[in-house]
Amino acid sequence: MKFDTRTLVLMAIAIVINIVVGQIAVWVKLPLYVDAVGTVLVAILAGPLAGAVTGVLTNVIWGLVSDPTAMAFFPVSLVIGLLAGYLAKLGWFRNIGMTVVSGIVIGIISTLVAIPIIVYMFGGVTGAGTDFATTFLVSVGQELLKSVAIANLTTNLADKILTCVIAWVIASRMPNRFTASFPFYQHSAS
């Protein structure tokens, strides 16, 4: 599949948004990543394949410029892009209620993809705030896999709901002139 030039530019901008939004989350000191806003936005506007490519390239480029461990999590971003695109196709980004449900679905499934990477590649540790929760759960007798799952699911659900809502707000507030040139957006237009 060949993307048109506008979609290519949208994807490039979305990759940068993903990386810079991570920086904003650090400024406001929120324990969230919110670094898939661009991926979900592309998925809503241009479809699952464009979303998946945006997600994978975000991890590769982040890995190249500042944090090589980011590359290990590219399957998570790929799944987020694909899922957001398919849910958009089903009309799950038409209103705020459905968008929140989409965030829950994406949060659960992306956590399922992330858990084996965290547990088997990194021994259950990510180097982020969720490690405190994982450590606490292990200390009260939970198994490592369960602890990682609970700690990451909790953070990830809030993170992906917020991500989807932000992407939906941005897409729905863009002028018709802008969204009209993305035919896939008709699945999400209210």
Partner 1 sequence: MITQGSSQTGTALLYVPGNSFIHRMNPLTKLVGLLWLAATTFMLPPGGMATIFVATFLFGVLAGAGKAFIKRLILTLGPFAIFLFVIHGVLIERHDTIQHEWISFSPEGAQYMLKILVRVAALLAASMLFVTTTHPANLLKALDSHGVPPGIAYLIASPLLLLEPFSARARAIRDAQQARGLDLTGSWKARVKAFPALLIPLVTLALSDLDHRATVLDGRAFRARPFRVVLDAPVDRPYERWLRRALLIAIPLQIGVLLWL
By CB under 8 A, the residues from 84 to 103 that bind partner 1 are none
Per-residue tokens: 114 = 């992330």
Phi first, then psi: give them for residue 95, nearest 5 degrees: -145, 170
Handedness of CA 69, 70, 76, 79 (dihedral sign): negative
Total number of residues that touch partner 1 (CB under 8 A) = 81
Q: Which of residues 123-152 bind partner 1 (CB under 8 A)?
A: 123-131, 134-135, 138-139, 144, 152
**Stretch of residues binding partner 1 (CB under 8 A), selected from 84-92, 93-101, 121-129:** 121-129
Cβ-contact 39, 51 below 8 angstroms: yes
Q: Which of residues 15-74 bind partner 1 (CB under 8 A)?
A: 15-30, 33-37, 41, 53, 57-73
Q: How far apart are alpha carbons 57 and 54 in whole angstroms?
A: 5
Decide whether 53 or 88 has the Cβ nearer to partner 1.
Answer: 53
Binding mask 152-181 for partner 1 (x = CB under 8 A): x---x--x------x--xx---x---x---
Q: How far apart are alpha carbons 86 and 47 in whole angstroms?
A: 7
Residue 105 CB, nearest approach to partner 1 (Å): 15
Cβ-contact 45, 189 below 8 angstroms: no
